[in-house]
Amino acid sequence: TGGCCCRLFSQYETPRQVLVRSRRVGVVCRLIQLGVLAYIIGWVFIYEKGYQSSDTAVGSVLTKMKGVGYTNVTGEERIWDVADYVFPVQGDSSFVVMTNYIMTKGQKIEKCSELYPSCLFSVSHPTPPQGHMTGKCLVNTTKMCEVLAWCPVEDDSSIPDPALLMSAENFTLFIKNTINFPAYGVMRCNLVEGIDNQYIKSCLYDPKTAPLCPIFRLGDLVQMSGFNFAAIAKVGGAIGIIIDWTCNLDHDQSDCKPIYSFHGLYGNPDEADTARASVGYNFRYAKHYMEDKQEKRTLLKVFGIRFDIIVRSVARKFDIIPTLTAIGSGVGIFGVATVVCDLILLYLLPKREFYNNMKFKVTETMEKVSLHQTVA
Amino acid sequence: TGGCCCRLFSQYETPRQVLVRSRRVGVVCRLIQLGVLAYIIGWVFIYEKGYQSSDTAVGSVLTKMKGVGYTNVTGEERIWDVADYVFPVQGDSSFVVMTNYIMTKGQKIEKCSELYPSCLFSVSHPTPPQGHMTGKCLVNTTKMCEVLAWCPVEDDSSIPDPALLMSAENFTLFIKNTINFPAYGVMRCNLVEGIDNQYIKSCLYDPKTAPLCPIFRLGDLVQMSGFNFAAIAKVGGAIGIIIDWTCNLDHDQSDCKPIYSFHGLYGNPDEADTARASVGYNFRYAKHYMEDKQEKRTLLKVFGIRFDIIVRSVARKFDIIPTLTAIGSGVGIFGVATVVCDLILLYLLPKREFYNNMKFKVTETMEKVSLHQTVA
Amino acid sequence: TGGCCCRLFSQYETPRQVLVRSRRVGVVCRLIQLGVLAYIIGWVFIYEKGYQSSDTAVGSVLTKMKGVGYTNVTGEERIWDVADYVFPVQGDSSFVVMTNYIMTKGQKIEKCSELYPSCLFSVSHPTPPQGHMTGKCLVNTTKMCEVLAWCPVEDDSSIPDPALLMSAENFTLFIKNTINFPAYGVMRCNLVEGIDNQYIKSCLYDPKTAPLCPIFRLGDLVQMSGFNFAAIAKVGGAIGIIIDWTCNLDHDQSDCKPIYSFHGLYGNPDEADTARASVGYNFRYAKHYMEDKQEKRTLLKVFGIRFDIIVRSVARKFDIIPTLTAIGSGVGIFGVATVVCDLILLYLLPKREFYNNMKFKVTETMEKVSLHQTVA
């Protein structure tokens, strides 16, 4: 009677169930179900916050070093300020602070001699010569080759020890970090509420007493990354500064604060012991000038601490989709619990035969079925 | 009869159900089920595209500035071209365009005087002196200390106003951005179909008329980020340029186009009012040279606009796994709908007693059960 | 008898089911269920490793170039070492190796002439003039304008061909990459087990024989990215080096090794044919010096290969949450299989009428129900 659609709306099907009146079965199965429920609510929802969606931020980092270094090499006093010891100068999130150097002054392009295993061909590997081999071996010298190079060639056989710019330990680093969670329209800066101009003028980062101060002493940074300053200053190294933003945007935005952590990337003196490759960090840098109408340069082999500022961010906020997905998936797991209970009921209990009869109604083989139907 | 496996394949179990012939229950329950179905299909599948997997891209950004600046400071005319006002020069995704500067010419390392609160110890904080304190106070002057420094020391007490390079407003920025979705083997460039050499020669980005032109006028960029050019040019600031690639790869690849957006990161004049720290953006940069056999340098305190080009990308494509996961989860939620209907049926309806009897078959207590079985 | 909670624990409900004893139905439905099971176990668990959670790494990249270039331009021999041909010098993950250049020596700020379409206004677009227009047209010359500029202005109408630094082909690049999976507390370096100081001294990357050697020959890099070295060296280009860390942390950590891959980003000569914009890669760079008390500079238009080192990382490890989510979702899909089987049973089979009767117990219309109940 009525259309198919009409019929659909005038009835409702619900599974028929057996109510097993047994304390033993009841307790076991309820406990299993409770466990599943506790897992879904406690773990997925409360601990893992499965009712929230998450988004990562796009961010921007500015840095600024402060401090003046002083060196006195064989009577020559020199001053190193920010424009001299930071590479690059413009305050990137990845930069190098020079702590030691080998300076070769007054280089110009000409022919001079360099000690090298073979003077015949320019071998690119493992350590190339500093100049272009002319192919000539200089008289009366073994393996002393004539090269066209920036002469005099650099002699980096010994690294100044202690590092020339040990005073870098007291330099300070100021970090400014802005992040933006576009999915939630939230923008945060590491100068959070309460970190004003006044506070910044006097604070210094300390993991316990000033965990939000964005000004870091280089010596502290090195120590917190597990390095020894004297060692890293001599040969150079790399330190990662991780700014961790883990924000629960269901709470107030002002609870969304950065956590700084520090870890050494290279230059660990322990690594040196294990004969692993490439300890330290250095690069070459030249300042060009003209003298007597001739181009000259001062070559610096710079040993320094490289800082990589890495921003990790995740914001979480209530969202209906993951909530329903978690519920749906939870109901599925609930179904697994029912299956487990049924297996116990139907295969392990002494009265399993009886429960089987209660749960299942068997369609007889075809002949019997017809008979059965006729009888009914 | 037959093996367990054979028996398994010769039968099939399906839940027995009660068909409740009630228009009221039917309508309510069907509506709940329809709602769930609409949610799964409409929201999860159509709106959130739950049948697609997603991947983010790896990308590369090149930039190129164009334009020439001109300054006339007390009669000295100067020209600033790309090699002078962009830091770094090589066209990175993060770079600074100089808009203002304080130039200190002819610095050399010697002893001179600097005004500082205390001449006894070199305090690293809050503002360190520009040189290395010798510990001497100069005669007849209060707090005028002798320092070993690049002398004369910089006087940055007043910033040129208006900014010296106000002409930077007309500089143009060209962005080239290539992204690669390795999971789908798709590579896209912001010079999409139709953006050819001819078009680039004459176009200028405009959010409405030319949203795909990769050439931006600096003045427009600043304005679109909500800044005032004169203000940001004077003290410096930072602007984020977000290139958003949201691609549905089930459609044609040529529909995958970048969307540019702009937002100010620092230097907002409004921030200044709230006494928040560190307005503006500046860094120091030195050009070294030799004069009369002595090393000298020209120090520039550079105020500029820092641009951070941030690429956000997500590509989506049909994938069987998320599709089936969404369906599976949806079936689970459907199960929740059934539970809700059952609750209404068994606890809220007037005939709930009757429906309870229909739905549940109760196993009697053990004695009765035995009796029941015997009787049957 | 007893409280609601007590009653809940002393009983357990399980669905009543029809056991359909039919080989045809059994085989079809079991096959469908087996298919779903195979999908869940085989695809979700084994192939997609749905029992694992995943995390991406934070990483840091250091690079170091080696090799010396030699040029002989009209009799002037020059040597180019790392400090000269790498931009920036400090070994970033994104850097440029100069392969060709146009050098303009001895520029100073003065008035000179430049060929330009119009001498009246400084048009910022499409190619701005190199200097600041004074507005004067020089006598007897068409479109030869007087400009205040770094004079003599650069003439970049012809690019040196072949590239001046073709020897860059033999330069080598050393990459050091450390990654950190904070969620699993795992840190890995591309100098994995077995890649020691000794090996690095003599190895050269080769995709087959030395896939873990972190030293790359520039010529090989260019070739592996599908470029022609002579072409890219002349006009410049960009190459992406992708370091792929896909780690299964359920296995031993030492199995977590990087895979290098290379692809060209710009400068593809094929692109040139399609008249797409901006082939090649170049930037301008100036070295300032003082001569006769006057500031001068050497301008270099640098053509080079830009390398972007991109780290992609994903680590996977067994986690209970995705395991249970996958199971829960799988049970849901199992439910879909049951629905499909039921549809076959109830609508397609010849005996559907019979199965319908077995499966469903219909509540009669209200009057009949009362009657029925009374009779019962």
Q: Tokens at residue B189, please?
A: 């460039």
Helices (H) and strands (E) in chain B, counts: 10, 18
Please report which confidence band the pLDDT of residue B241 belongs to, taking 50, 70 and 90 as the band edges.
Answer: very high
Q: Do strands C132-137 and C144-151 pair parallel, antiparallel, or not at all (unpaired)?
A: antiparallel
Contacting residues of A for B285, CB less than 8 Å apart: 83, 89-90
CA distance B214 to B62: 11
Determine the pLDDT at residue B373.
Answer: 45
Count of A-B CB contacts under 8 Å: 225
Q: Is residue C16 part of an annotated ligand binding site?
A: no
Tell me: pLDDT of C33 over 60: yes
pLDDT tens-digit series, residues C135-145: 777 765 566 78
What are residue B247's phi and psi, to 5 degrees?
-115, 130
Alpha carbons B118 and A252: distance in angstroms, whole number: 44
For B280-319, strand residue ranges (E) read 282-291, 294-318
Please say whether the dihedral angle defined by the alpha carbons of residues A328, A331, A335 and A340, taken in this order, is positive or negative: positive
Considering CB atoms only, which of C124, C329, C365 is closest to B67?
C124
Q: Work out the number of other CB atoms within 10 angstroms of the CB of residue C109.
A: 19
A13·B20 Cβ contact <8 A? yes
The whole-number pLDDT of residue A126 equals 58
Given this model, what pLDDT does residue B3 score? 61
Q: Which of A10, A24, A64, A90 to mutate to test the interface with B (most CBs of B within 10 A)?
A: A90
B366 has pLDDT over 50: no
**pLDDT score of C52 more than 80:** yes
Start-to-end Cα distance in chain B: 25
The predicted structure's pLDDT at residue A124: 47
Report percent pLDDT > 90 for chain C. 30
Q: How far apart are CA A96 and CA A300, in angstroms?
A: 14
Whether the pLDDT of residue C47 is over 50: the answer is: yes
Give me the residue label for tokens 């409740």: B20
Better pLDDT: C298 or B47: C298
Cα diameter, chain C: 123
C164: confidence class by pLDDT, cuts 50, 70, 90: very high
Q: What is the mean pLDDT of residues A323-331?
A: 77
Question: Would the pLDDT of B117 be above 90?
Answer: no
B183-to-B180, B186, B314, C55, C260 alpha-carbon distances in Å: 9, 8, 11, 17, 16
Across the interface, whether the CB atoms of B128 and A78 are under 8 A apart is answered: no
Does position A78 have pLDDT exceeding 80, yes or no? Answer: yes
pLDDT (0 to 100) of residue B140: 59
Least confident of C77-81, C136-140, C278-282, C312-316: C136-140
pLDDT in the model for residue A354:
81
At residue C304 the predicted structure's pLDDT band, cuts being 50, 70 and 90, is very high
Inter-chain contact A22–B363, Cβ cutoff 8 Å?
A: yes
Does pLDDT of C219 surpass 90? yes
Q: Classify the C-alpha dihedral C14-C19-C25-C31 as positive or negative.
A: positive
Question: Interface partners of A (3+ CB pairs, < 8 Å)?
Answer: B, C
| pLDDT band (50, 70, 90) for residue C22 | confident
By mean pLDDT, which of A34-48, A258-272, B190-204, C38-52 is the weakest?
Answer: A258-272
Q: State the Cα–Cα distance between residues B351 and C366, nearest whole angstrom.
A: 10
Q: Tell me: pLDDT of C372 over 50.
A: no
Share of chain A above pLDDT 90, in %: 31
β-pairing verdict for A294-318 and A237-248: parallel
Mean pLDDT score, A330-355:
79
| Whether pLDDT at C123 is above 70 | no
**Greater pLDDT, C70 or C364:** C70
Answer yes or no: are the C-beta atoms of A270 and A337 closer than 8 Å: no
Per-residue pLDDT reduced to its tens digit, A238-254: 999 999 999 999 998 88
Contact A338, B339 (CB under 8 A): no
B345 contacts in chain A (CB < 8 Å): 12, 14
Q: What per-residue confidence (pLDDT) applies to B233?
A: 92
pLDDT at residue A146 greater than cutoff 80 = yes
- pLDDT tens digits along B249-280: 999 888 999 999 998 876 444 444 343 445 78
Beta-carbon separation of C16 and A19 below 8 A? no
The mean pLDDT of chain C is: 82
Cross-chain CB nearest to B197 (options C95, C265, C276): C276
Q: Which residues contact A6 (CB under 8 A, 6 or more apart)?
A: none
Confidence label for C120 from pLDDT (cuts 50, 70 and 90): low
CA distance B128 to chain C (A): 26
| More confident of the two residues B121 and B213 | B213
Q: What is the pLDDT of residue B367?
A: 38
> CA-CA distance, B47 to A274, in Å (whole number)?
55
- Which of B180-184, C104-108, C333-337 is predicted least confidently? C333-337
Residues in chain B with CB shorter than 8 Å from the CB of C299 are 83
**Chains in contact with B via at least 3 Cβ–Cβ pairs below 8 Å:** A, C
> Average pLDDT of C149-177?
90
pLDDT at residue B278 in the model: 52
Residues in chain B with CB shorter than 8 Å from the CB of A174 are 278
Higher pLDDT, C373 or A81: A81
Which of C4, C11, C14 to probe the A interface (max A CBs under 10 A)?
C14
Q: Which residues of A touch C215 (CB under 8 A)?
A: 125
Question: pLDDT digit string (tens) for B51-81?
Answer: 888 888 888 899 999 988 999 888 888 999 9
Q: Which of A67-81, A175-189, B13-27 has the lowest mean pLDDT?
A: B13-27
In the 8-state DSSP scheme, what is residue C155? -
Nearest residue of chain B to residue C286 (CA atoms): B83
Asked whether residue B120 carries a pLDDT value surpassing 80, the answer given is no
Of A96, A82, A124, nearest to C88 by C-alpha is: A96
pLDDT at A197 > cutoff 90? no
Asked if A87 lies within 8 A of C91 by C-beta distance, the reply is no
Of B274-288, C164-178, C196-210, which has the strongest mean pLDDT? C164-178
pLDDT given for residue B139 in this prediction: 62
Q: Is the dihedral of CA A98, A100, A105, A109 positive or negative?
A: negative
Asked if the model's pLDDT at residue A273 lies above 60, the reply is no
pLDDT confidence band for C207 (50 / 70 / 90): very high
Give the minimum alpha-carbon distance from B129 to chain C in angstroms, rounded to a whole number. Answer: 27
Beta bridge partners of A307: A95, A239
Give the pair of three-digit tokens for residue B21.
């012939």
Model confidence pLDDT, tens digit, residues A26-41: 888 888 888 888 887 8
DSSP-derived secondary structure letter, C232? H
The answer to whether the Cα torsion of B183, B184, B187, B193 is positive or negative is negative
* CA C108/CA C115 separation, integer angstroms: 18
Contact C82, C173 (CB under 8 A): no
CA distance C95 to C310: 12
C279 contacts C235 by C-beta, under 8 angstroms? yes
Read off the pLDDT band of A329 (50, 70, 90). Answer: confident
Per-residue pLDDT reduced to its tens digit, B319-357? 887 787 777 777 777 777 878 888 887 888 787 888 778
DSSP helix/strand/coil, A306: strand
Can you tell me the mean pLDDT for A128-150?
75
- Report which DSSP code applies to B206: B
3-state secondary structure of A238: strand
pLDDT at A208: 94
The verdict on whether residue A66 carries a ligand-binding annotation is: yes
pLDDT digit string, tens, across residues C252-271:
888 999 999 998 876 444 44
pLDDT of residue C64: 92
Please write the tens of the pLDDT for every residue from A203-230: 899 999 999 999 999 999 999 998 889 9
Share of chain C above pLDDT 70, in %: 86
Binned at pLDDT 50, 70 and 90, residue B207 comes out as very high
A-chain residues within 8 Å CB-CB of C354? 363, 369, 373
For residues B22-30, average pLDDT = 81
CB A280 within 8 A of CB A303: yes
pLDDT at A65 over 70: yes
CB distance C277–B22 less than 8 Å? no
| C203 pLDDT higher than 80 | yes
Is B170 a residue whose pLDDT tops 70?
A: yes
Output A119-122 pairs: Cβ under 8 A, ≥24 positions apart: A119/A143, A119/A144, A119/A145, A119/A146, A122/C68
Picking from C135, C136, C129, the residue whose alpha carbon sits closest to that of residue C151 is C129
Nearest CB partner across the interface for C18, out of B16, B202, B358: B16
Omega before residue B117 within 30° of 0, cis: no
**Identity of the residue in A48, A125, A275 whose CB atom sits nearest the CB atom of C321:** A48
SS3 B351: coil
A235 pLDDT more than 80: yes
Question: In this model, does residue B169 exceed pLDDT 90?
Answer: yes
| Contact (CB<8Å) B176/C336 | no
- Confidence check: pLDDT of B7 > 60: yes
What pLDDT is attached to residue A127? 66
More confident residue, B344 or B205: B205
Q: How confident is the model at residue B171 (pLDDT cuts 50, 70, 90)?
A: very high
Residue A192 with chain B: CB contacts under 8 Å: none
The chain-wide mean pLDDT, for chain A, equals 82
Question: For residue B346, what pLDDT is reported?
Answer: 80
DSSP letter at C166 equals G
Yes or no: say if C249 and C317 are a contact pair by the CB < 8 Å rule.
yes
Reported as a single tens digit per residue, the pLDDT across A116-126 is 777 765 554 45
Tell the burial category of C208 from Cβ atoms under 10 Å away from its Cβ (0-12, 13-18, 19+): exposed
Contacts of C262 in chain B (CB under 8 A): none
Residue B104 near residue B156 (C-beta atoms within 8 A):
no
Sorting pLDDT into bands at 50, 70 and 90, what band is B126? low
The confidence band for A168, taking pLDDT boundaries of 50, 70 and 90, is: very high
Q: Would the CA dihedral through A64, A70, A71, A75 be positive or negative?
A: positive
**B66 labelled as ligand-binding?**
yes
